[in-house]
Structure 1
Amino acid sequence: MMPRILLVVATILLVLIGLVMVFSASTIEAISQGDGMFSYVGKQALFVVVGGVIAFALAKFIPYHVWQGGPWFWIGWGAAMLMLLAVPIVGTEILGAKRWIFIGGMSIQPTEFAKIALVVAAAGILHRYREEMKSGRDTLVAAALLVVLPLGFLYVTQSDMGSAIVILMGAFAVMWVGEVPLRWIVPLFLVIVVVGVGGMVGYRADRISVWLDPWNDGYGGYGTGYQMIRSFYAFAEGGLFGVGLGNSREKFLYLPEAETDFIFSVIGEELGLIGALSVIALFLVVLFAGLRIAHHAPDAFGTAMAGGLTVMLVGQAFLNMACATGIFPTTGKPLPFISSGGSSVLASLFIVGLIMSVSVGSNVLTPYERRRNDLNVIRVEHPGRDEAAGSGRAERVRTRGERTGETDARRRSRRSDSASPSSRAEGRRKTPGASSRDEDALRQSRRERARQRALDSERGRR
């Protein structure tokens, strides 16, 4: 129960921090656009409620085994892939990137849901390879069709290296918790690094150079390096304890995307180093709880799915915070649970629901445990051997009596002494003859013991 409680508490605290910080960071921009000051946080709260209800349903009513490869998995994976295919055709370009589609008047970023489907698919492939003894060729074909091909399509059509990095984090985590040998993981990792470095051309190369020196962006810090510089200013103004909740200066349209990609900078400014470290600590709690749930999962699929989703979720959080602090180039990935955006908060809560379903499933006995608990010990009777064993025990009793010099009368007297007075009285009432014989034997044994003690004392004096 402890990892489950930690995961729920940390998630609730992160969501509450997100609602407060979205309201603080978005009010100025909402007013400048002619919207109400609660427009951003109102939408965020609605998505939190919807995501929380769905996460509860995933954890409570839908066993995680249904995502192993049955109809539920194919419906979820197919829906995510259809949305990815729709982006190049009917997608909407926002801030120079075409990654959103509008459904029912609401913008959706399909990559937020596709990353969940790809990691769950990787967990299912690894489980079938290890438990169902699938051949290596079939496993590679399944991985290529269900994971690698959609990932490559996402990277090429949307030019979304941030999402590709996050999905690869989850995939490598699946292999790690699934105990895939390092001789397979390391070469694959090196190949991906080479491909990634080879893709650093065009605007990506410019982004790397700006990341190394944002003030040298060709416009004196007012070009592509402007956002990074304003993020640095936010952290510098925050100091140790911050300027106070709601008192950020950078949110006055100085820091672009203050309520989404760079909301961690506003946290650092208003809540200071203490607030920023508190957010980091909560994500570390999520990481610990998720990995403990994966460790206690009842099967390999539960371990791989919970471990992969946990690492992907927390990995995205640290990727966002690394970009905001200048440790990593800007990737445009939101901060889970905190950044404004319906797709991000829904996907983050979906992940928590799936991890919780593994935790709930850990309380159910596996088929192997049920069969073990149903075993009954049956004693097989062997008449010949049992009679021989009984005669052997009787012979041992007689031998012990002869060796100790114990007479039948003495044994009867000991049994008579150990019996209760009521039972002896009952015995006398039922069998008076037997009672008189027992009393004679008792007196005889007492006389023998007195005679033996006298002989022993006489020998001692001599």
Structure 2
Amino acid sequence: MPGSRTGRPPVRRTVRPPAGPCENPVARLLTRARRAWDRPLTAYYLILGGSLLITVLGLVMVYSASQITALQMSLPGSYFFRKQLLAAVIGAGLLYAASRMPVKLHRALAYPILAGAVFLMALVQVPGIGVAVNGNQNWISLGGSFQIQPSEFGKLALILWGADLLARKQDKRLMAQWKHMLVPLVPVAFLLLGLIMLGGDMGTAIILTAILFGLLWLAGAPTRLFVGVLAVAGAIGTVLIKTNSNRLDRFACIGATEMGPDGSCWQAVHGIYALASGGLFGSGLGASVEKWGQLPEAHTDFIFAVTGEELGLAGTLSVLALFAALGYAGIRVAGRTEDPFVRYAAGGVTTWITAQAVINMGAVLGLLPIAGVPLPLFSYGGSALLPTMFAIGLLIAFARDEPAARAALAMRQPRFGRKRGAGGPAGPRRWNTMRRRTSAVRTSGER
């Protein structure tokens, strides 16, 4: 046949036309979003960007919510903001250090951090050293206006030590025996819980219990064992609640719309008032009415209510979306790793942050009892901010350590400067600009 030396008809290649206006734009958008979501560095950017946005927005809201409280205490209006900013700067250093540490160093720090946390939590109960705040003796004074709450560091200690313990037992193939799964993890966790409950801090004890359950779940605890530990913890919690009138009142205020004859639901009801008066876009930054003495703990436990009043539903949903993205990224890191320590540590940190955020927001919304726990990375409190930012650094380090993420980071080219080879001299300088490179082929007008 003509046009073919072999006698065979020529193969006609069909060229697929570009996507035209007839294709569904929603489908194209979903496809692009799915591809971007599946990239190796998605978890890394979600953790880094989400935690940074939550911290910055928290600083803004702490400044707005704490001004009236500071003025009522005859302090400068930016007093609490300056302390929170200092804690955020120190926490940023801890986050950076944790994100650059190798996994072996994280595991090596597990036992020293646990020993230090237990020592400080026991020191709280020593008369003359421990300080009581709002009826809970869980603080140590560092001089002046600075105090530290050791139980916040106990959360981080339990995660690191528990992850290292479970990883070593898994390497030795001991996780199939229930006694190795529970001992000594559960007794040490109960030791920390006992030291916390000596000071009366039920909220921190709930978060620590959630971390323990998260570690057992990740370790593959059988259902009967998991239910047994849950039943024991529930029985102890029920006794502690029934023997304390203040805790009973907090449970009675779930879903309350009236403050009651004795005003026991004052904080819960005014938190609902703040959210209800915010509307869709809020009354404006700094324009909250409830923070003028009506809403207790406006810059700590109930800062989410002030956010709803000043930034409206849009602001609260934005905060909720950031925490959801942070939780998803943590689950993704824990699910894609092959290192058991990374899986347990990442799952423990994710359980800690998401459980504490849910308990805080649920209390503000009237869906859960007021537990007195701050909103992670958002509420005022350096003792809560420092270990949380270190834990975020752990997640960033784990996200960078994924094989696909390491390969993606290694392939990234510097935007400016020289690209150095492996021990060789610097290569030619390459500048990324918006101008297209000219082609080496001369145009028809050139001679």
Please give the TM-score of this superposition, normalised by the length of structure 2: 0.76
Q: C-alpha separation between the residues in 2 aligned to 1:321 and 1:216?
A: 19
Q: Is 1:350 the counterpart of 2:390 in the alignment? A: yes
Q: CA deviation at 1:140?
A: 3.4
Give the aligned partner of residue 219 of structure 2.
178
Give the aligned partner of residue 218 of structure 1.
261
Deviations 1:294-339 (A, max 9, x none): 1222311110110111111111011101111111111110011111
**Between Structure 1 and Structure 2, which shows a larger proportion of helix residues?**
1
**Secondary structure, aligned partner of 2:147:** strand
- Tell me, yes or no, if the aligned pair for 2:47 and 2:395 is still in contact at 8 Å: no
1:161 alignment partner AA: M
Q: Is 1:75 the counterpart of 2:112 in the alignment? A: yes
Deviations 1:321-370 (A, max 9, x none): 1111111111110011111111111122011012222223334999xxxx
- Tell me, yes or no, if the aligned pair for 1:178 and 1:300 is still in contact at 8 Å: no
2:223 alignment partner AA: L
Q: CA RMSD in A?
A: 2.1
Which of 52, 74, 87 is 1:34 aligned to?
74
Give the aligned partner of residue 152 of structure 1.
194
Give the aligned partner of residue 84 of structure 1.
121
Give the aligned partner of residue 66 of structure 1.
105
Which of 162, 171, 178 is 1:131 aligned to?
171
Q: C-alpha separation between the residues in 2 aligned to 1:245 and 1:312?
A: 29
Q: C-alpha separation between the residues in 2 aligned to 1:10 and 1:254?
A: 31
Give the aligned partner of residue 345 of structure 2.
305
Q: Is 1:321 the counterpart of 2:321 in the alignment? A: no
**Secondary structure, aligned partner of 1:93:** strand
Deviations 1:271-292 (A, max 9, x none): 1111111100100000011111
Q: Is 1:228 the counterpart of 2:268 in the alignment? A: yes
Q: C-alpha separation between the residues in 1 aligned to 2:74 and 2:90?
A: 27
Q: C-alpha separation between the residues in 2 aligned to 1:296 and 1:217?
A: 50
Q: CA deviation at 1:104?
A: 4.3
Which has the greater radius of gyration? Answer: 1
Q: C-alpha separation between the residues in 1 aligned to 2:289 and 2:155?
A: 35
Give the aligned partner of residue 103 of structure 1.
142
**Secondary structure, aligned partner of 2:289:** coil
Q: C-alpha separation between the residues in 2 aligned to 1:243 and 1:365?
A: 43
Q: CA deviation at 1:136?
A: 4.7
Q: C-alpha separation between the residues in 2 aligned to 1:189 and 1:77?
A: 23
Give the aligned partner of residue 236 of structure 2.
195
Q: Is 1:208 the counterpart of 2:251 in the alignment? A: yes
Q: Is 1:114 the counterpart of 2:154 in the alignment? A: yes
1:95 alignment partner AA: N
Q: CA deviation at 1:138?
A: 4.9
Unaligned runs of 5+ in 1: 367-462
Q: C-alpha separation between the residues in 2 aligned to 1:365 and 1:9?
A: 16
Shift of the 232–34 alpha-carbon distance from structure 1 to 2, 3 Å rule, reads same
Q: C-alpha separation between the residues in 2 aligned to 1:82 and 1:212?
A: 39
Give the aligned partner of residue 55 of structure 2.
15
Q: C-alpha separation between the residues in 2 aligned to 1:126 and 1:239?
A: 47
Structural mapping, 1:414-425, within 5 Å:
none
Percent same amino acid at aligned positions?
A: 35
Shift of the 356–83 alpha-carbon distance from structure 1 to 2, 3 Å rule, reads same
Deviations 1:142-171 (A, max 9, x none): 22443222222322x022221111112222
Give the aligned partner of residue 428 of structure 2.
none
- Tell me, yes or no, if the aligned pair for 2:278 and 2:310 is still in contact at 8 Å: yes
Give the aligned partner of residue 411 of structure 1.
none
**Secondary structure, aligned partner of 1:100:** strand
Q: CA deviation at 1:216?
A: 5.8
Q: C-alpha separation between the residues in 2 aligned to 1:137 and 1:258?
A: 45
**Secondary structure, aligned partner of 2:118:** helix
Once structures 1 and 2 are overlaid, which stretch shifts more, 302-311 or 96-105? 96-105
**Secondary structure, aligned partner of 1:88:** coil
**Secondary structure, aligned partner of 2:138:** strand
Which of 309, 327, 332 is 2:372 aligned to?
332
- Tell me, yes or no, if the aligned pair for 1:178 and 1:303 is still in contact at 8 Å: no
1:107 alignment partner AA: Q
**Secondary structure, aligned partner of 2:379:** coil
- Count how many residue pairs are aligned between Structure 1 and Structure 2: 359
Q: CA deviation at 1:113?
A: 0.7
1:166 alignment partner AA: I
- Tell me, yes or no, if the aligned pair for 2:259 and 2:266 is still in contact at 8 Å: no
Q: C-alpha separation between the residues in 1 aligned to 2:241 and 2:322?
A: 33
Q: C-alpha separation between the residues in 2 aligned to 1:195 and 1:214?
A: 30
**Secondary structure, aligned partner of 1:211:** coil
Q: Is 1:140 the counterpart of 2:177 in the alignment? A: no
Q: C-alpha separation between the residues in 2 aligned to 1:158 and 1:362?
A: 41
**Secondary structure, aligned partner of 1:199:** helix
- Tell me, yes or no, if the aligned pair for 1:242 and 1:273 is still in contact at 8 Å: yes
- Tell me, yes or no, if the aligned pair for 2:181 and 2:221 is still in contact at 8 Å: no
- Tell me, yes or no, if the aligned pair for 2:99 and 2:397 is still in contact at 8 Å: yes
Q: C-alpha separation between the residues in 2 aligned to 1:218 and 1:27?
A: 30
